[in-house]
Every structure is written in C-alpha cells, then in structure tokens.
Amino acid sequence: MLKTLDLFAGAGGLSWGFAQTGKFHIVAAAENNPNAQRTYLRNHGDVRMIPNVVGCNFAELSTELGGIDIVIGGPPCQGFSNANRQKSSVVCMNNSLVKEYFRAIREIRPLAFVMENVNMLQSDIHRFYDTADDHEEIERLQIELRNDVIALSKHEIHGIDTLPLVQDCEKLTETILPDKLYTSLHILYKNKGSEDRLKKYIEKNDISIINQIEKYLTDIPDSVYIQYNIVRLRAIQDSLSRAQNISSYSEQLSELIEYQKLLLTAQEIYDNGILCRFEHRANTHHTIAIVRSYSVLDYIHAVLGSDYKQTGSTVNARWFGVPQERLRYIRIGIRSDLAGDYEISLPKEPAEIPFITVGDAISDLQNCNVSYSREEHGIDYSEADLPVSEYARSLRHNGLLYNHITTKTTPEALVRFKALKEGENFHKLPKELIRSYKKPERTQNTIYLRLDSKKYSGTVVNVRKSMWIHPKLDRAITVREAARLQSFPDRFIFEGTKDSQYQQVGNAVPPLMAKAIAENILKYLPVNDE
C-alpha cells in the first residue's frame, strides 16, 4: 500500500477515488474548513488531519508517519482576480497555496505527486506576481518575468490626481473608508439599477448609513484626498435624510465607489508586497501599477528541477463515467530515479465515452421525500419504486439515504421553475419574471437551469447558489442528487450546514475521475499489498 497525503483535501473526493483502487492508504489530509474536515474524517476514518498547510513541517510529518509515498491534492489557484469578492480584488493570495503544495513535495520527496486544478491553470491567465518575499527565490531559479499592468480604476477620477496618493502608503490608508461604511455604500451602489431591491435596502438601512457617515465625518484628518470623500458623503447623507430619490446622489455615489475601488486595489498591492511602480497611463490621468509576473508552470518546473519527470493535461470527468462535463487540469510527477527513460502520460479521451445521463444518476430518487433541514437523519430507500440504472445501482447503499436535502422554494422562484422546460435556463424566462434583475443579459447560463434528464450535466458547482432545478420536479436539486452527479456513493455522508454541504460537493474531485487517475499513476510505481 502506498502511504498517501492529500493536501487541500476538501470533503475527500480525490482521496476516495485513490482509496478505491485498494493500492493507496490515506494516512494524512490537510484541510482548513471545519465542515469539510468533519465530512472527510467521517468518511475516511483514522486519518491525521492537518488544519493548515501554511507552516506545516512536512519533513517532520513524513518521519512521524513512517514515510509518505504519494502526495495528492488540489491547491486553490484563482489567478489575477477573484470575481466573487465584493471589493476590487486583483490578487488572490490563494495562489501562494500552490507554492505550499510544492514546498511539501520538496520536503517529503515522495515517489510521485498528483495535482488537480482548474483547467485554466495551464493558460497565461494564471500567473504569480513578483513580490518582495519571493523575489530572491525567483531570481535564483532564473524564472522568466514579464511586465504587466494593473489598472487601478476603470475610469478617470475627475478633479484629482491620485498618483501622489497611491505612492504614499500612509496617506492612502487614511483615505480609505471604514469597511462597514464602504460595504453599505457598495450595496447601495449595486442595487441602484433595481428599483425594488433598492427600495427595500434603503428602507432597512438608511438610518444606519446616515449614522455611519456622520461617525466617519467626525474627527478625520484633513487633506485634499479626504475632501473628495467628504463632499460626496455629505451629498449622499443629505439625500438619504430627505428621503430623496437615488437620482439626486447617483453621480456622487458612483464617483465615490470608483475612487475607493482604486484605493483598495493600491492597498492590496502594498499588503501583498507586490513589487511595482505606480504611474500615469500615457496620455491620460488614469493611475496604473507596472508589475512583473511569471507563469505557474514555469515556477513548478523551476522549483522541482530535474527531481521529477512531469506531465500535465486537461481531462474530462465524463471520460470516466461521470454524468458531468467537468474539465480539470491534472499534473503528475514521478521521481526521476523511478521514471528512468520512460515517458509518462495521463489518460486520453477514449474512442467511446460512456454516456451517463442526469436521469441515470438521480431518477431513482425522484419519489424519495426530501428534507429542508440539515438535521435530517436519513430516509429509507432500500426498495426503489422507479427503474434503477446501472450507474445509480453502483452508488446505492443499503439502509438510509442521507443528504437528500434541498432549499425551500420561494413563491417567486416556484413561478420561474414552472416556466422552464428541461434544459432551459434563466434566459428562457419571460421578461416579467426577471424584472428584479439589474442586468439580466449578463446572468450566467447556469442560473435557474432545469437539468435535462436525457443529457449529462454541466460542471457541478454550488448548485444551491446557481438554483439548479430537478428535471421533473419543481424544486432545487438536493445535496445527494448533486453528489450523484459527482459520482459520490450514497454511503459518503456530508457534514456541516446545508450551504456548506452544497459547496463541498461542488468543490470536490469526482471520485470516479480520481480513481482513473490513480490507476493511471500506478503504472509507474512499485506497489506492495502491505
């Protein structure tokens, strides 16, 4: 048995697939999310749980466990930006976790490693910035750097030159609004195009915003840069106090938010130690940061050198019998003293791909009662009253069905559900049902998607947030149904809050795909059955 360490393990889909080969013994896992930890430990048993990879002494861990043969895992890597953050974020420090993953490889020197990541990792989008902390290492490794530009603002900040401000970290910091006030104003700004949502938000929060502004305006430093905040905040405060329409202060609100976004981006550059030069864009007064960056793959090659023979490619979960189109970048490395002169490879797209549908995955659960509470204790489903596909039969487990929980459907959502046929999404809804959306044309195709029972699904994410709809029933799909689409067996039980369970499922590596990758890497490794 090959002793295996799973880093950034999540709920444990990758571990589960490796364990199912009977050749890998999971001895330790690293995961910092408490709910995912609980799920992992419930399903994988006696495993050393590491709460955080940062600062972990992997060489010492390996010694304590009598050696580690294989390191697997999916370090988060979100590239230059993370669109889900409310503030204007140009840097996601999750990128540094990729470096932690390869620090583990260097310290442990396992026989092999497997890294799973988003398909775009191999593209030129996912790059690291040159920072003060890493600069000497990058120069030592002779990694190629290129010049890049971070635009601090999409629009010019009229009437003020922000370049001297962003060049002075102390002045920059004192000019940024308090988090709570900025968040309140940003929500106000986001809702200004939706009359219904704006009205509800103002009715609930106008006094709070007025008081927050008053608190900020009391005893603040005086400078031309802070005056820019003050003038616009007073206009917003006055209009809210008089219950005036947002049109009376919309311009001031927009200017203030753009200004603060610029400052927050500059602050983030400072906070992350990014080496840069602030300057004006040619022929304009737009402030930009000139930075340098390097590719993730260049870093991996440089930091491991000739110690490992590596290869990487994109694989699709559907190739391995998962009823889902899910593209992931897989990178494997075999220690050079084992690989010898052999070329190593990953699974290729087969000539015939198993056609497993959404219906194959979940139709046998259609008549099972769903729960709306995470406290449910499981339901009896030992006798299916609907046809059971070969795929579903492979996942069923005698006894109770767990995690068959979903979100309660609001009256508004139910009307939308009923209006959609299988395979249709938000963009097929009549205009009168989407008036509450500020920019409906920009809504993703995965929102309000009624799954098609005769096709495989798209990439499973947090389907609660996307509001995926059951093919036949007017309700959101359950955690268990989402897990079926990911190829988790029914005996795999998810712990934590309802939303956490959905998120764990969406983040996971499909076990069937993980098993195929594990079987592929076994070709290059010495294995004993002890």
Residue 253: closest CA among 304, 156, 188, 345: 188
Q: Choosing from 77, 92, 276, 368, which is the catalytic residue?
A: 77
Six token digits for residue 485? 């689409």
Q: Is 77 a catalytic residue?
A: yes
Distance between CA atoms of 36 and 380, rounded to whole angstroms? 25
β-bridge mates for residue 128, sequence order: 294
Q: Which two tokens stand for residue 10?
A: 């999540």
Which helix (H) or strand (E) segment holds residue 54: the answer is: none
E strand residue ranges, 434-480:
none
DSSP state of 50: E
DSSP tag of 86: S
Query: CA 314 to CA 17: how far, in whole Å?
Result: 18
Kindly provide the b/e burial profile for residues 33-51, where b requires at least 16 CB atoms within 10 angstroms of the residue's own CB: bebbbbbbbebbeebeebe
CA dihedral 473, 479, 485, 491 (to 10 degrees): -120
327-335 and 308-316 as β-strands: parallel, antiparallel, unpaired? antiparallel
| CB-based contacts of 486, cutoff 8 Å, min separation 6 | 13, 322, 324, 460, 505, 508, 510, 511
Active site residues: 77
